[in-house]
């Protein structure tokens, strides 16, 4: 992951990594749960979606992020891979991706390695009670695996008064992945709001720094 700030910056970034920009596919992100499967014959037209998966060894996949989570997936058996943009509206996109990979390449969740990249942390993602309740009802629930704890955390300011709700996007994604059968999960705990090395819409405002998250094919052995 590195900074990207427009098409020219994106191309420069790819070239700095010795990647042909024509081999790097992206999407027009709409904060959805839509995931597309691509290969080298797919058009470079940036379709509306928030995730991409492939098994083509000749292309790379990308999304941009700046508080929302980048989610990296690798099927360690087939070599299929994917990259997702998962914000609060798109939470659940991991299940869409796993379903599509199963349909296309018979991917088993138990064989998928997942990395949750840097994003806004529960330390900073305060929301209103209505949003928190909807998020908790859909992604919290009763019972099940909570590898990273609750999906909504309530804290009182200065130890008094009403508790404010904070979302934990990593916890929600981890719970969904665990429920689907994924056991190989790595988590980057860096918060984009508090870590000024990272781009953050919430910290920087409308002129925020976009970051690009990339994933490529499993190396041939």
Average pLDDT over residues 173-200: 95
pLDDT grade for 5, boundaries at 50, 70 and 90: low
For residue 207, pLDDT beyond 90: no
Residue 24 lies in a domain: yes
For residue 75, pLDDT beyond 90: yes
Residue 140: the pLDDT is: 86
What CATH number has the domain bearing residue 73?
3.60.140.10
Residue 112: the pLDDT is: 98
Round to whole Å and give the CA distance between 184 and 59: 24
Average pLDDT over residues 163-169: 94
pTM for the structure as a whole: 0.92
Average pLDDT over residues 150-165: 85
- Specify the 3-state DSSP secondary structure of 36: strand
Angle, alpha carbons 128-152-123 (nearest 5°): 85
The total of structural domains in the chain comes to 1
Average pLDDT over residues 46-59: 95
pLDDT grade for 3, boundaries at 50, 70 and 90: very low
Residue 93 lies in a domain: yes
51-54 sheet: strands from edge to edge: 35-37, 51-54, 81-86, 69-75, 112-116, 184-187
Round to whole Å and give the CA distance between 26 and 85: 11
Q: Treating both helix axes as pointing N-terminal to C-terminal, what angle do 129-139 and 169-180 enclose, rounded to 10 degrees?
A: 20
pLDDT grade for 218, boundaries at 50, 70 and 90: low
Task: State how beta strands 2-4 and 81-86 pair.
Answer: unpaired
The count of other CB atoms within 10 Å of the CB of residue 131 is 13
CA-CA distances (angstroms) from residue 204 to 101, 196, 208? 36, 10, 5
**103 contacts: CB under 8 Å, gap ≥ 6:** none
For residue 4, pLDDT beyond 60: no
* Stretch among 9-23, 91-105, 113-127, 200-214 having the lowest mean pLDDT: 9-23
Calculate what percentage of the chain has a pLDDT beyond 90.
75
Owning domain of residue 17? 2-121+182-215
pLDDT tens-digit map of 23-46: 999 999 999 999 999 999 999 899
Show the tokens assigned to 74: 């690798």
- Specify the 3-state DSSP secondary structure of 217: coil
pLDDT tens-digit map of 111-154: 999 999 999 999 999 999 999 999 999 998 766 678 999 999 99
Residue 183: the pLDDT is: 95
For residue 1, pLDDT beyond 60: no
For residue 219, pLDDT beyond 80: no
Going by C-alpha positions, the residue among 93, 110, 11 that lies closest to residue 52 is 93
Round to whole Å and give the CA distance between 50 and 102: 18
Residue 172 lies in a domain: no
For residue 6, pLDDT beyond 80: no
Residue 31 lies in a domain: yes
Residue 177 lies in a domain: no
Residue 151 lies in a domain: no
Residue 67 lies in a domain: yes
Residue 64 lies in a domain: yes
Going by C-alpha positions, the residue among 175, 151, 29 that lies closest to residue 95 is 175
């Amino acid at each position: 992951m590195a900074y990207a700030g427009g098409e020219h910056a994106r191309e420069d970034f790819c070239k700095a990594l010795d990647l042909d920009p024509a081999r790097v596919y992206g999407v027009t992100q709409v904060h959805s749960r839509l995931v597309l499967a691509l290969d080298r014959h797919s058009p470079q037209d940036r379709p509306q979606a928030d995730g991409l998966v492939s098994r083509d060894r000749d292309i790379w996949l990308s999304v941009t992020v700046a508080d929302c989570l980048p989610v990296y997936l690798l099927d360690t058996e087939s070599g299929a891979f994917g990259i997702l943009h998962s914000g609060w509206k798109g939470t659940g996109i991991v299940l869409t991706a796993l379903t599509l990979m199963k349909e296309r390449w018979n991917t088993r969740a138990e064989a998928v390695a997942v990395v949750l990249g840097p994003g806004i942390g529960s330390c900073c993602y305060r929301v209103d009670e209505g949003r928190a309740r909807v998020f908790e009802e859909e992604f919290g629930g009763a019972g099940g695996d909570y590898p990273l704890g609750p999906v909504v955390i309530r804290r009182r300011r200065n130890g008094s008064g009403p508790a404010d709700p904070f979302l934990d996007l990593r916890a929600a994604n981890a719970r969904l992945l665990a429920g689907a059968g994924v056991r190989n999960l790595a988590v980057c705990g860096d918060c984009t709001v508090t870590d000024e090395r990272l781009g953050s819409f919430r910290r920087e405002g409308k002129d925020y720094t976009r970051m690009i998250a990339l994933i490529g094919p499993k190396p041939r052995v």
